[in-house]
């Protein structure tokens, strides 16, 4: 099969799948569900192949078949395999408690990496940027807004409250409530901007997809 024939088959497959997806506008039908199943299956197959080529095979070569393998390398390389076995045991109700160790390790490592990444990649750079902006007169307003938004957004996610001795109700003091409302406003603006950006990006993707499919159809119908 030549490259031209393969491109032709893939082009018509793309047109058919696009029409199947857009058939959802009319109603939830079999064609749409079939297209979704094809998309999920292709994505799962791609993920499996990528994991095999980029993770499993390099791990196998480094741990078992490498030229410089020793006891320490093999022991360290078998640790992921042990975690995989623990996670598989979570599927068996009888041995699910054994798999909690692997799950806790994965969650702990993920939380640690996320926390370090947030502090070093977001909070500290924002604080430095705010400090540098405050030192420049032309960017003082931007620095104040950046610093205020960072502090109030972090305060919005704190859940420390005081109980009123007379009424027993749990509430925050007025300054803390005010700062949390300000942080909620910044979060709302940020989420709105992200949502608008996502919609615009989706429209651009759909426009490019439709243009590609229409150009393909015109080229085929025009000979």
Among residues 160, 162, 128, which one has the least CA distance to residue 146? 128
pLDDT at position 220 is: 73
pLDDT at position 172 is: 63
pLDDT band for position 115 (cuts 50, 70, 90): confident
Higher-confidence residue of 170 and 108: namely: 108
- CB neighbours of 23 closer than 8 A, spacing ≥ 6? 29, 31, 32
pLDDT at position 177 is: 75
Q: Which of 15-29, 39-53, 62-76 has the lowest mean pLDDT?
A: 62-76
Domain limits, the chain: 1-69
pLDDT at position 138 is: 65
Q: What is the pLDDT of residues 183-218, one digit of tens each?
A: 889 899 999 999 999 999 988 888 888 788 787 777
pLDDT band for position 159 (cuts 50, 70, 90): low
Q: What whole-number distance in Å separates Cα of residue 156 and Cα of residue 179?
A: 8
Are 71 and 60 in contact by the 8 Å Cβ rule? The answer is: no
pLDDT band for position 223 (cuts 50, 70, 90): low
Mean pLDDT of 55-75: 73
pLDDT band for position 50 (cuts 50, 70, 90): very high
Provide, rounded to the nearest whole percent, the portion of the chain with pLDDT above 70: 84
Which of helix, strand or coil describes residue 163?
strand
């Amino acid at each position: 099969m030549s490259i031209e024939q393969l491109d032709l088959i893939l082009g018509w497959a793309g047109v058919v799948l696009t029409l199947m997806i857009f058939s959802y506008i009319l109603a939830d039908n079999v064609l749409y569900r079939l297209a979704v199943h094809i998309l999920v299956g292709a994505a799962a197959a791609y993920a499996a192949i990528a994991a095999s080529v980029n993770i499993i095979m390099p791990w196998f070569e480094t741990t078992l078949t490498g030229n410089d393998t020793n006891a320490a390398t093999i022991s360290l390389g078998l640790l992921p395999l042990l975690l995989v076995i623990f996670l598989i045991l979570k599927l068996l109700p009888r041995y699910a408690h054994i798999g909690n160790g692997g799950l806790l390790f994965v969650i702990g490592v993920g939380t640690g990496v996320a926390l370090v990444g947030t502090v070093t990649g977001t909070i500290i750079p924002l604080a430095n940027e705010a400090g540098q902006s405050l030192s420049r007169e032309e960017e003082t307003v931007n620095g104040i807004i950046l610093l205020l938004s960072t502090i109030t957004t972090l305060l919005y996610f704190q859940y420390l409250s005081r109980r009123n001795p007379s009424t027993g109700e749990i509430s925050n003091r007025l300054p803390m409530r005010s700062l949390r409302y300000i942080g909620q406003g910044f979060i709302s603006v940020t989420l709105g901007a992200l949502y608008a950006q996502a919609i615009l990006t989706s429209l651009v993707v759909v426009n490019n997809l439709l243009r590609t499919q229409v150009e393909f159809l015109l080229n085929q119908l025009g000979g």
